[in-house]
Each structure stands twice: as structure tokens, then as C-alpha cells.
Amino acid sequence: MKPLKIVHLYAQEMNIYGDNGNVLVLKKRLQWRGIDVKIEQVGVGDKIPTDTAIILGGGGQDAGQSIIASDLQQKKQTLLQMHKDGVVMLMICGMYQLFGQYFKTQKDQKIGGIGVLDAYTEAGPKRIIGNLTVSSKWGDLIGYENHSGQTFLNNDSALGTTKHGYGNNTQDGTEGANSINVFGSYLHGPLLAKSPIFADELLNRALVLNGVTNKLIDINDVIAEQARTVAKKRPR
Ligand code: GLN
């Protein structure tokens, strides 16, 4: 099998609170199993390689989102097609918002999204900041949130429901979104370091898409488990 390709989208502009750690976690979890992986950075003006298996994007300031917004529109058709084709994507916070329909900032600026996810985001009166624990099909997902935007889902399902913190918005107790193999989430942290089961879910989906159906061999996740325990105890 040729190396599994992971694209890190807008690593310069959209990468806060350690979100690039999600790239490292997937890379290491593949390497520990002897599976070749290639990381490619795709920024403003770059093309997304056609053989991409996984795309990861992080959070950013409103200013960072404005900088990449028009370039993202150039990539819209490619990303919509990849979504339909089952490419695995995980978008955190600022990129999650722009994978939806739009993000309206506190300054009333409307930044257009690409509609891969059927959701929209509008800034609320105050920022949502704190630790976030989310109940999901893959156990509790743990991280940290810091966003002004409040996201509302239309037809997509949520990634999970909040146990601590707010997630998508202050009203409905949902967190994140999922459509086919595309996931959006407000969990910084980085999310995958403290949620190895979810990390392997993403890898399994990507491997199946690339014709590899062997179950991933188990990894000793004692340290990740310890990190989860500590993070869960942290006060808001
Ligand atoms: N700028 C966006 C907001 O405030 C996203 C923030 C983030 O990515 N942490 O909602």
C-alpha cells in the first residue's frame, strides 16, 4: 500500500490551542502500527492532492478565518466532492464553522463557508470559554473550547452531546457535526490526543476507503488514559 496521505489544511493561519497535534496523533498511531503515512501541508493557493485520505483543519481567530475564506471557496468543489467520496475530515472550531454555511462575526461580518456540513454559525453576545466534555459514540471526548460563534445544525447529526461546557451553542446541548466521514468539533486540546478511540475511528474509516480492512492492532494507551482522567477533573 502506498503511504496514507494526510492533508493539514491552512496550518499557518488556522492552528491554535495545539490543533496541529491532531496531525501528529494520527501520524504516530499509523507509524506505531507500521503503516506508512505522508503529511502534506495545503495552504492558500495550493491544490488538495487527489489521493488524500484524511484532511485536518484547526481553529483560528476571526482574522485568520477572513484570510483563508476566499481561498477556501476556490477549494469548495473539490472538498464537496471529497466529502461525497467518503474522504475523512476533522475540522476544529474556526475551520468547523467555515465547513458549514457561514460564520457571522461579532462585528457583523459574514464569512462564507463551503456547506460541506449543514450548519451555520453566528457570534453570540459573549465568548464561550472553558473545558468541554462530550458524550459520543466513541466514549467521552475531552478538550477545551474558546469561541464567539454559536453553531446550529440543520440536517446533519451532532458529534455528541455536552456533559460539561457548551459545544455548538448555549442552547441545545449538541456538540460538533457529522456527515458521512466529515466531522466538525469545537474541541481543542488537541482532541485526538485525549480521545484515542475516536482517533482510531478516523484511521479505520480512512483505511477502509483505501482498501485496507484489517482491524488496527491495539496500542497501549495508558498515557492517553491518564491525560483523559486529569483533563476530566479540571475545573471549568
Ligand atoms: N473565531 C472563531 C470564533 O471566535 C473561531 C475561534 C476558534 O477557532 N477558537 O468563534
Residuewise pLDDT in 10s, the chain (236 residues): 789 999 999 999 998 888 999 999 999 999 999 999 999 999 999 999 999 999 999 999 999 999 999 999 999 999 999 999 999 999 999 999 999 999 999 999 999 999 999 999 999 999 999 999 999 999 999 999 999 999 999 999 999 999 999 999 999 999 999 999 999 999 998 999 999 999 999 999 999 999 887 778 999 999 989 988 888 887 66
Instruction: Give yes or no for a contact between 144 and 189, defined as CB atoms under 8 angstroms apart.
Output: yes
Instruction: Give yes or no for a contact between 88 and 53, defined as CB atoms under 8 angstroms apart.
Output: yes
The three-point CA angle 146-42-58 to 5° equals: 10
Neighbours of 79 (CB within 10 A): 20
**Could you confirm whether 147 is annotated as catalytic?**
no
> 184: Cβ below 6 Å to ligand 1?
no
Q: Which atom of ligand 1 is nearest to the CA of 121?
A: 10
Q: How far is the CA of 78 from the centre of ligand 1 (A)?
A: 24
Instruction: Give yes or no for a contact between 181 and 205, defined as CB atoms under 8 angstroms apart.
Output: yes
Cell numbers given for 39? 503529511
Cell numbers given for 15? 492552528
> 57: Cβ below 6 Å to ligand 1?
no
Distance between CA atoms of residues 141 and 232, nearest Å? 10
Q: Could you tell me if residue 10 is left (phi over 0), alpha (psi between -120 and 50 degrees) or otherwise beta?
A: left
Instruction: Give yes or no for a contact between 97 and 105, defined as CB atoms under 8 angstroms apart.
Output: no
Take atom 6 of ligand 1 and give the residue whose Cα is closest: 147
Instruction: Give yes or no for a contact between 100 and 118, defined as CB atoms under 8 angstroms apart.
Output: yes
Supply the pLDDT for residue 235: 65
Supply the pLDDT for residue 96: 98
Take atom 5 of ligand 1 and give the residue whose Cα is closest: 94
> 60: Cβ below 6 Å to ligand 1?
yes
User: Which positions ≥6 away from 72 have C-beta within 8 Å?
Assistant: 98, 113, 114
Beta-bridge mates of residue 88: 54
Q: How far is the CA of 217 from the centre of ligand 1 (A)?
A: 36
> 106: Cβ below 6 Å to ligand 1?
no
Q: What is the dihedral of CA 98, 22, 193, 160, to 10 degrees?
A: 30
Supply the pLDDT for residue 232: 82
SS3 content of the chain, % helix, strand, coil (to 5): 30, 30, 40
Q: 4-232 — its CATH code?
A: 3.40.50.880
Supply the pLDDT for residue 47: 98
Supply the pLDDT for residue 236: 60
Supply the pLDDT for residue 5: 97
**Could you confirm whether 164 is annotated as catalytic?**
no
Q: What are phi and psi of 17, to 5 degrees?
A: 50, 40
Instruction: Identify which of 148, 166, 191 to mutate to test ligand 1's pocket (most ligand atoms within 8 A of the CB).
Output: 148
> 68: Cβ below 6 Å to ligand 1?
no
Q: How far is the CA of 76 from the centre of ligand 1 (A)?
A: 20
